[in-house]
């Protein structure tokens, strides 16, 4: 076991500040002597092109080791391939697409992954503690053994609700996960990125007991169609013991707008101080629909909590419009959060290869997808020459390359006073939680408070003031609290 500091410097923001942050990560490296027959030879192209920065043995030189099990930008074969092909211009990693063929790049990726495996290098375990600029943090495993947990919300500090994407709503009572899931929740289409997504507890839960769920709803199979169409749907219901009861559908799109694709469903649910419910639906893989207000996809919607459409929604009365639409031109928003003081709704959406955005959600605005974007297509080609256009909003901030920005919450508890109203951003691909300091409509500072513990699907302030981080791979929820009061660094 050896301790080592990883520094990450990839943040790009229009108004954001570039920052350095050191995180303590423990890496365990077991180096067994390999028999000669098992030796994997470093591909010649690597020695030729990569050694200058990553070292002759690829274990680090001017730039980081590629064989230590730490993948700052995501360790999936596909991600590593992309970073080599297209580069990481903002951190000084060149693009190799004009020098190396795809096959040569895959040879390199497979060498790195095989060599890691051969050396028994595994991902560092989740640390027990973290050190950030402001606090020493204790990291506990709140719940383990979940299958693709998607979201967490709290009825009280004793009772939490967790969704698992395959379609289960789980309860955690006094830190103990119910062995069964809630009975009678809607059946979901768990395919691709679809399934049971967000869970949200009504702001007046104590009086009305409502709980909201968002999920992928599929139409009955039609024999002529290979894949029945699906769309994001919202229901609310109540808990009676372990039973889901009194269900009401509060958002269902016209069935002719359902799509046969299985990705980009969104969906987050939040409530503003006036009690409106906001939710997001991704573009469902048809980017031009994001500009079409007769389509529900590629939008942020606003409704009353019982599903009625507010009279002052921006497109009410427009011919053909889906009247719940509040903003459009949103690619795939999986983060929504309401600022505790201003009541403003903030949103993160996934960009394609680069161009994840942080936006302030304002009635009627067009956020530009796919007409303007800071992203590239997955094949590296330009999606749009335009990054700005009259009548289309600029993001408050964007990330290049994509961190895969997911769940979002403002910190609003008592345990980390210096972090009041900071925006916590979970990132799937970068496996991290960023903490953004926001002043009016600008990000003035950013730091990474958790790195490489797993893909971060959601983050939330608990009623106890702790920070809860929903991880995928492993399906674990972490609970972060200050290590001790004296441990405050300032």
Binding positions for ligand HEC, rule: CB under 6 A: 46, 49-50, 52-54, 63-64, 66, 71-73, 80, 83-84, 88, 91-94, 96, 108
Q: Where are the alpha helices (DSSP H) in 32-131?
A: 44-49, 51-54, 77-86, 102-118
Residue with smaller CB distance to ligand HEC, 68 or 458: 68
Please say if 190 is a catalytic residue: no
Give, in order, the Cα–Cα distances in Å from 393 to each of 50, 246, 282, 369, 389: 40, 40, 18, 10, 8
Kindly tell me which of 110 and 292 has the beta carbon lying closer to ligand HEC.
Answer: 110
Residues 6+ apart with CB under 8 A from 440: none
What is the nearest approach in angstroms of ligand HEC to the Cβ of residue 150? Answer: 25
Q: Which is nearer to ligand HEC, 94 or 209 (CB)?
A: 94
Q: Which of 453, 407, 392, 402 is nearest to 429 (CA)?
A: 402
User: Which CB sits closer to ligand HEC, 94 or 413?
Assistant: 94
| C-beta closer to ligand HEC: residue 121 or 415 | 121
Local structure of 102: helix, strand or coil: helix
405-410 β-sheet, strand order? 405-410, 423-427, 432-439, 442-451
Taking the C-alpha atoms of residue 216 and residue 187, their distance in angstroms, rounded to an integer, is: 9
Q: How far is CA 322 from the centre of its chain?
A: 26
Secondary structure of 176-190 in the HEC alphabet? EECCCCCECCCCCCC
Q: Which of 54, 264, 289, 301 is catalytic?
A: 264
Residues 282 and 262: their CA atoms lie apart, in Å, by: 11
Nearest partner of 345 among 327, 372, 329, 332, judged by Cα = 327
Token look-up 């050190």 returns 131
Nearest distance from residue 294's CB to ligand HEC, in Å?
41
Rounded to the nearest whole angstrom, what is the least distance from the CB of residue 217 to ligand HEC in the complex?
A: 37
Residue length, the chain?
Answer: 490
- For ligand HEC, give the closer residue by CB, 71 or 374: 71
Rounded (5°) CA angle 263-161-272? 75
What is the nearest approach in angstroms of ligand HEC to the Cβ of residue 63? 3
Residue closer to ligand HEC by CB (options 64, 461) is 64
Q: How far is the CB of 84 from ligand HEC (least distance, A)?
A: 5
Task: Name the residue nearer to ligand HEC (CB basis): 93 or 253.
Answer: 93
SS3 417: helix
- Residue 47 CB, nearest distance to ligand HEC (Å)? 9
The least distance separating ligand HEC from the CB of residue 359, rounded to whole angstroms, comes to 27
CB 279 within 8 A of CB 266: yes
Of the candidates 281, 290, 398, 385, the one whose C-alpha atom is nearest the C-alpha of residue 333 is: 281
Q: Which residues pair with 433 in a beta bridge?
A: 426, 450
* Contact predicate 482/136, CB 8 Å: yes
| Minimum CB distance to ligand HEC, residue 201 (Å) | 37
Rounded to an integer, what distance in angstroms lies between the CA atom of residue 281 and that of residue 193? 12
Enumerate the β-bridge partners of residue 214.
Answer: 234
Q: Give the Cβ contact number of residue 381 at 10 Å.
A: 8
Catalytically active residues are 264
């Amino acid at each position: 076991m050896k301790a080592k500091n990883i520094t990450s410097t990839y943040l790009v923001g229009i108004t954001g500040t570039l920052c350095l942050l050191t995180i303590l990560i423990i890496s365990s490296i077991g180096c067994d002597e390999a028999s000669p027959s098992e030796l994997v030879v470093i591909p010649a192209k690597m020695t030729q092109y990569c050694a200058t920065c990553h070292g002759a043995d690829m274990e680090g030189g001017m730039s980081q080791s590629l064989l230590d099990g730490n993948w700052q930008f995501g360790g999936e074969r596909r991600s590593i391939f992309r970073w080599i092909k297209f580069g990481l211009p903002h951190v000084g990693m060149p693009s190799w697409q004009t020098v190396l063929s795809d096959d040569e790049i895959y040879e390199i990726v497979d060498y790195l992954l095989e060599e890691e495996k051969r050396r028994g290098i595994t991902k560092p375990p989740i640390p027990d503690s973290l050190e950030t600029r402001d606090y020493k943090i204790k990291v506990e495993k709140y719940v383990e053994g979940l299958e693709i947990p998607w979201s967490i919300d709290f009825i009280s500090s004793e009772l939490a609700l967790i969704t698992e994407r395959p379609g289960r709503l789980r309860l955690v009572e006094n830190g103990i996960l119910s062995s069964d899931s809630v009975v009678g929740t809607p059946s979901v289409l768990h395919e691709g990125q679809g399934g049971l997504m967000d869970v949200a507890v009504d702001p007046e839960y104590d009086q009305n007991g409502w709980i909201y769920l968002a999920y992928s709803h599929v139409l009955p199979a039609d024999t002529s169609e290979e894949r029945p169409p699906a769309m994001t749907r919202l229901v609310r219901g109540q808990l009676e013991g372990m039973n889901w009861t009194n269900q009401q559908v509060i958002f269902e799109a016209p069935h002719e707008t359902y799509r046969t694709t299985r990705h980009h469903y969104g969906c987050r649910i939040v409530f503003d101080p006036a009690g409106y419910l906001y939710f997001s639906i991704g573009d469902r893989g048809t980017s031009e629909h994001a500009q079409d207000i007769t389509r529900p996809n590629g939008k942020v919607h606003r409704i009353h909590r019982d599903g009625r459409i507010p009279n002052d929604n921006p497109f009410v009365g427009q011919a053909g419009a889906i009247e719940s639409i509040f903003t459009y031109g949103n690619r795939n928003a999986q983060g929504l959060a309401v600022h505790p003081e201003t009541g403003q709704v903030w949103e993160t959406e996934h960009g394609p290869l680069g161009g994840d955005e942080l936006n302030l959600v304002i009635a009627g605005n067009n956020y530009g997808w796919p007409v303007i974007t800071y992203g590239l297509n997955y094949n590296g080609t330009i999606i749009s020459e335009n990054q700005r256009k009259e009548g289309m909003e600029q993001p408050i901030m964007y990330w290049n390359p994509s961190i895969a920005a997911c769940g979002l919450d403002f910190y609003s508890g008592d345990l980390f006073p210096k972090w009041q109203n900071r925006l916590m951003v979970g990132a799937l691909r970068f496996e991290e939680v960023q903490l953004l300091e926001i002043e009016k409509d600008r990000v003035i500072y950013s730091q990474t408070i958790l790195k490489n513990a797993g893909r971060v699907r959601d983050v939330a302030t608990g009623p106890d003031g702790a920070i809860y981080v929903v991880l995928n791979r492993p399906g674990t929820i972490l609970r972060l609290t200050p290590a001790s009061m004296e441990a405050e660094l300032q």
